[in-house]
A and B are shown apart, each in its own frame.
Chain A
Amino acid sequence: MLERPAPALVLDLAGDEVTIDDRGLISSPPRRFSIDGRSMREVTGWAGPWPIAVRWWDSASATTASRFQVVDETGTAWLLVLEGGAWWVEARYD
């Protein structure tokens, strides 16, 4: 688990950023991602989106987001989250 989520980038085959529509479906499957803004990793496996709608009735803590699990070419698994149009990395599975 990262101490605080770090910005990330997730791209599809065409190199466009992967987005999610209001019906919870992704624009296209993720193919490459970056967690440091410099190097790209290949997506060798992924699962999601797992949408969450947190406490919509409480404006102070309400959030909606979608989580994804992706595996890179080294076999490392990452927990990514797409929230408000931006990708974040939340955790790395060791």
Chain B
Amino acid sequence: MGWSNPPVPWSEYERRLSDSRRPGAPPVGADGGDSPGWSNKRNEYIPPAVERVSSTVRYAELHAHTNFSFLDGAASPEHLFEEAARLDLHALAITDHDGFYGIVRMAEAAETHPDIGTVFGAELSLGLRKPQNGAADPEGGHLLVLARREEGYHRLAGALTSGQLAGLEKGRPIYDLDELAAQAGGHWMVLTGCRKGSVRSALVGGGDPITELDALIDRFGRDNVLVELYDHGNPLDSDHNDALAAIAERRGIPTVATGNVHYARPDQYRLATALAAVRARRSLDDMDGWLPASGAQHLRSGDEMARLFSRYPGAVERTVEIADDLGFQLRRAKPKLPKQEVPDGHTPMSWLRTLVWEAIPRKYGTITESTRARIERELEVIEMKDFPGYFLIVWDIVQFARGRGILCQGRGSAANSVVCYLLDVTAVDPIKHKLPFERFLSATRDEEPDIDVDFDSDRREEAIQYVYDKYGRRNAAQVANVIQYRPKFAVRDMAKALGASPGQQDAWSKQVERHGALVSSDEHDIPDAVVGLALEVLSFPRHLGIHSGGMVLTDRPVGEVCPIEHGRMKDRTVLQWDKDDCAWMGLVKFDLLGLGMLSALQHTFDLVRDHLGEVWELATIPQEEQGVYDQLCRADSVGVFQVESRAQMGMLPRMQPRCLYDLVIEIAMVRPGPIQGGAVHPYIRRKMGIDPITYLHPDAKPVLERTLGIPLFQEQLMQLAMALGDLDADQADLLRRAMGSKRGHEKIETLERDLYEGMKRHGIIGADADDVYLRIQSFANFGFAESHAQSFGLLVYASAWLRLHYPAAFLAGLLRAQPMGFYSPASLVADARRHGVKVVRPDILRSSWQPTLEGGGSVRVEPVETSPTGNDSCLLHDQPPVEPYDIGAPFDTDDHRRDGNLVVRLGLAEVKGIGKDVAKKIVAEREAHGPYPDMAGLVRRTGLVTAQLEALAAAGAFEGFGLSMREALWAAGDAAQNRAEYLEGSMVSVQPPLFSMPSGMEVLAADLWATGISPSDHPIRYVREQLRQRGALSAAELRSAESGRRIEVGGVVTHRQRPATASGITFMNLEDETGLVNVICSVGVWNRYRRVARDAPAIVVRGILERSPEGVTNLLADRLEPLGIAHHTASRDFR
């Protein structure tokens, strides 16, 4: 088998890459087109079938690196463990460099093979002067440490933490050997290790290995040192092993044989060497001298080891007793939550009860007996599971945020809990919406509760810092995010390793489309060798990032449970585990997420209050206003939370939302699961009255009525099992989780029996019972949490309401909260303009640093209250009932608009080369010392340089000085000489020549260059005549053009998406000066016009116009050609 043989086709690789060990993960090709896409939760580990090679000699591998040794290991922890199982090893130790990065994954795999032990250790890097990326042979020595059971484990984690933190930068831990000895306290086993271990390097380098061995014995204790022997097939290995064995004998220290393993199987040698080249940032040719001579660093069975080490009796067998002495089940190292401070006389539980009962008058007024019983039951479960501390911690964080005016709201399954609702953690009332508590927390479940809270993304950091301050940096840490190899970088790195020139590396990596949308076979000329290696590393961890907002709190220092290291960002410390590792280990994670929409809403509330004097908050917005729904039914939703994407927008006119619950369904429906599960069309047909609404059983009606008989939510699965099968809520939750997982079939069998017995009592037997069971099962995998959809539904309504009534403020809010959402700022502005919002250029005398509002004519920057426009009936808390949607009824957003007297003034920070800090400085200086008299004065007071002045000039920011764009551009170079350090007036200024007015096209080009936003124009306007002459239509004309006709449309490409659910179809969005067009590209058309389809910034599409009766318009492309436009535009592709 040669490496240059034709590789397996991409499609086959993609299938393989959809990790068979963790079924249910998104396919590699999945992109954001499924909006908002797949769950990124790691699925549970399912062991592949392994045929064991039985070994007569027992052996435990005590030195093994995984791919979490980052570029110094070529097998995943799971793969390594599977190979250990295949080879019938007694135990496996994982010893990655300076961390415990991969141990949870291995421990997870190990639980499926309880007969194979697990040992946890690390190879510590000593004497690093800097991070070692880029070195052919990383400097420094190694110390191989194995932890002895939990005590040794916590001590080693602590030592790794202090070493990593002492290093003050990522990738450069600093350990002190004496300190290590103290930290060990006799609870570690130390091996003499590899060629970089002190003993071996003394042996090879002419030092005294005995002295080094004695040093280890002195520090770690005679019983805690082992002399390590390994044989990688190098001619000198035997000599070294002989010498080491002799030394060991002299000191009476036992020897152990290891594989000094860096991958699972021999064939991973190639990948391992390629990774070594990547680490050293050079080609394999240049690395040749440093590479191991052959691929011998794989795992071996006891029998193989016995043959290799027959000269050293006992060295192989001894590994077994060592492993038995050291090993333990990782999950036993699980920590507890920190204790909460509660008022005197209270326990955490009694305090939680007090908070909950005290909230009832405020939240409910009076409550029924059944509500009281429900609350009691929730509290009982919380008490039984000993979780009051968790709820108090979340409550405390939310209280802090509310006190600071930081918008926040719980998401996810926590909205099933009345306790969370009463604590103001979530905004959805589970009583009103009949949401089962057990979906969130059940008496039978071992998992920790999981309350995710969304915060205003601009201010989330305040909440995080509050948690650090309150619990201390040692007991709180942020969760890591394992960054995997992106296809593009995998191709580039592997091309580099194989010796391709930088230009060639770039060319190939560019051919790889973003994320997973891997190059389909005919779309690239990348050599098979590069492709083969690139595909192998795709699932590998590349480095660690910080998870957005996941914090872990523990009673003991977190760093003793999982090592903590520096993040790349200043002042950030992060765990070596990701959220799934933490969850599996039972570390309680608090997700403090940043949500851009909350930030946009807060900005909008602030702007509306400051400029119109109208004060709103999420809770006071008038509910169920017809206009809000009319707007959404027209697919008029650019900028609205969750329902603005192409897929959601296409669904809105079909779903015709007329109440909040319709929005909840819409959010849950446009997902890969329901789309693939075939739930969407039946629902729509029923909703439109085409199909009758039927139920699988009369008793199912109360459960499914709200979704017209189509099961959609996970909560409904539980409720069905309760209503038809008489399961209790805990059993129903068990059933939901058992069905959703691939494991736990024993569990499901008992539940199944109970379910069938229950159904019998309801008269559902035989084929009918099987049918019910199948239906429940079929949506177990794709169902969405109703509680989560409810929480998000509130934000959909709120954002749609603000957009309808305050489109200018909402636009400014969205622009302030960037980056967020589906559309670029340019598209958001273009959409707002089509709704009558006036947007004006940044102005050096008027603009704030960020976008803001201006009343007509006022030159003052501070807000001036302006009179509102529109119909005041919109403000009434009680709105008239929402009528059925009438597509023909007149609807004018102006009737609702209240900020019609305000314009959006772009901020200075968006101008190229200015940015937030400089913009803030310009504004602060102006506010402190008065308006700038001219450009020279601006430079003198702020130190702007020529390029910045030119960008401001191009953006039109100097019109306030009476300077046209061209005059300002001309003057920029001169003005930039007026630096504060030069004498004022010493510059000779030259009278500017007379300039002609720039053409509209030039102004547009300048705007797009300087801010990316045109306040008044669109590139397609300049080719409109050309388009008209060839008979092409505009986006607006498509609304009335005849369906089924072949037409042409030209526009700027704003998005390209290839959802994994759409079997290769690519969706493109075009934008022209009149609106947006959806283009559907079949695989055939895409391939035929690939270059244009993939790369052209603007295109003319010919195709068949399809319009559904509800008014959803798509263009089914049959020909694409590039459209030459003079301006630079950027699309968002395959995100």
Cβ–Cβ < 8 Å partners of B295 in chain A: 24, 51, 53
* B284 contacts A57, C-beta separation under 8 Å: yes
Q: Within the assembled complex, what's the spacing in Å between the Cα atoms of A49 and B235?
A: 8
* A56 contacts B3, C-beta separation under 8 Å: yes
Stretch of B296-304, B340-348, B744-752 with 4 or more beta carbons under 8 angstroms from chain A: B296-304
Per the 8 Å Cβ criterion, residues 513-570 of B in contact with A are 529
* B235 contacts A47, C-beta separation under 8 Å: yes
Per the 8 Å Cβ criterion, residues 47-80 of A in contact with B are 47-53, 55-59, 62, 64, 66-67, 69
Cβ–Cβ < 8 Å partners of B4 in chain A: 59
Cβ–Cβ < 8 Å partners of B529 in chain A: 57
Asked if A4 is at the interface (CB within 8 A of a chain B CB), the reply is no
Q: Within the assembled complex, what's the spacing in Å between the Cα atoms of A64 and B273?
A: 15
* B234 contacts A23, C-beta separation under 8 Å: no
Partner of A53 from the list B238, B269, B308, B498 (CB cut-off 8 Å) is B269
Partner of B233 from the list A49, A62, A69 (CB cut-off 8 Å) is A49
* A23 contacts B266, C-beta separation under 8 Å: yes
* A50 contacts B234, C-beta separation under 8 Å: yes
Known contacts being A50-B233, A50-B234, A52-B294, is A57 close to B3, with CB within 8 Å? yes
* B235 contacts A23, C-beta separation under 8 Å: no
Residue of A nearest to B308 (CB): A25
Cβ–Cβ < 8 Å partners of B294 in chain A: 24, 50-53, 64
Asked if B293 is at the interface (CB within 8 A of a chain A CB), the reply is yes
Asked if B288 is at the interface (CB within 8 A of a chain A CB), the reply is yes
Q: Within the assembled complex, what's the spacing in Å between the Cα atoms of A53 and B284?
A: 13
Q: Within the assembled complex, what's the spacing in Å between the Cα atoms of A50 and B2?
A: 21
**Shortest beta-carbon distance, B385 to chain A, in Å?**
50
**Shortest beta-carbon distance, B594 to chain A, in Å?**
44
Interface size classification for chain A: 20 to 34
Cβ–Cβ < 8 Å partners of A64 in chain B: 294
Residue among A25, A57, A64, A67 having the largest count of chain B Cβ atoms under 10 Å: A57
**Shortest beta-carbon distance, B540 to chain A, in Å?**
19
Residue of B nearest to A67 (CB): B235
* B270 contacts A56, C-beta separation under 8 Å: yes
Cβ–Cβ < 8 Å partners of A59 in chain B: 2-4
**Shortest beta-carbon distance, A8 to chain B, in Å?**
19
Residue of A nearest to B238 (CB): A47
Known contacts being A56-B3, A59-B4, is A24 close to B269, with CB within 8 Å? no
Q: Within the assembled complex, what's the spacing in Å between the Cα atoms of A11 and B843?
A: 90
Asked if A22 is at the interface (CB within 8 A of a chain B CB), the reply is yes
Per the 8 Å Cβ criterion, residues 256-288 of B in contact with A are 266, 269-270, 273-274, 284-285, 288
Asked if B1030 is at the interface (CB within 8 A of a chain A CB), the reply is no
Q: Within the assembled complex, what's the spacing in Å between the Cα atoms of A59 and B527?
A: 13
Asked if B499 is at the interface (CB within 8 A of a chain A CB), the reply is yes
Partner of A23 from the list B293, B304, B497, B498 (CB cut-off 8 Å) is B304
Known contacts being A24-B294, A24-B296, is A57 close to B233, with CB within 8 Å? no
Asked if B929 is at the interface (CB within 8 A of a chain A CB), the reply is no
**Shortest beta-carbon distance, B88 to chain A, in Å?**
14
Q: Within the assembled complex, what's the spacing in Å between the Cα atoms of A35 and B218?
A: 53
Asked if B362 is at the interface (CB within 8 A of a chain A CB), the reply is no
Asked if B307 is at the interface (CB within 8 A of a chain A CB), the reply is yes
Q: Within the assembled complex, what's the spacing in Å between the Cα atoms of A51 and B308?
A: 14
* A23 contacts B288, C-beta separation under 8 Å: no
Q: Within the assembled complex, what's the spacing in Å between the Cα atoms of A62 and B284?
A: 13
Cβ–Cβ < 8 Å partners of A22 in chain B: 266
Q: Within the assembled complex, what's the spacing in Å between the Cα atoms of A73 and B520?
A: 62
Cβ–Cβ < 8 Å partners of A47 in chain B: 235, 238
Cβ–Cβ < 8 Å partners of A23 in chain B: 266, 298, 300, 304
Cβ–Cβ < 8 Å partners of A62 in chain B: 3
Q: Within the assembled complex, what's the spacing in Å between the Cα atoms of A52 and B307?
A: 20
Cβ–Cβ < 8 Å partners of B296 in chain A: 24, 51
Partner of A51 from the list B293, B304, B307, B499 (CB cut-off 8 Å) is B293
Q: Within the assembled complex, what's the spacing in Å between the Cα atoms of A59 and B499?
A: 13
B232-248 vs A, CB cutoff 8 Å, 1 = contact: the mask equals 01110010000000000
* B238 contacts A24, C-beta separation under 8 Å: no
* A57 contacts B498, C-beta separation under 8 Å: yes
B1-22 vs A, CB cutoff 8 Å, 1 = contact: the mask equals 0111000000000000000000
Q: Within the assembled complex, what's the spacing in Å between the Cα atoms of A69 and B2?
A: 28
Cβ–Cβ < 8 Å partners of B266 in chain A: 22-24
A23-B298, A50-B233, A50-B293 given; 8 more Cβ-contact pairs under 8 Å: A47-B238, A53-B294, A57-B284, A57-B285, A57-B499, A59-B3, A67-B235, A69-B235
Residues of A bordering B, CB below 8 Å: 22-25, 47-53, 55-59, 62, 64, 66-67, 69
Residues of B bordering A, CB below 8 Å: 2-4, 233-235, 238, 266, 269-270, 273-274, 284-285, 288, 293-296, 298, 300, 304, 307-308, 497-499, 529
Pick 9 A–B contacts, CB within 8 A, sort by A.
Answer: A22-B266, A23-B266, A23-B304, A50-B233, A51-B295, A52-B293, A57-B274, A58-B285, A69-B235
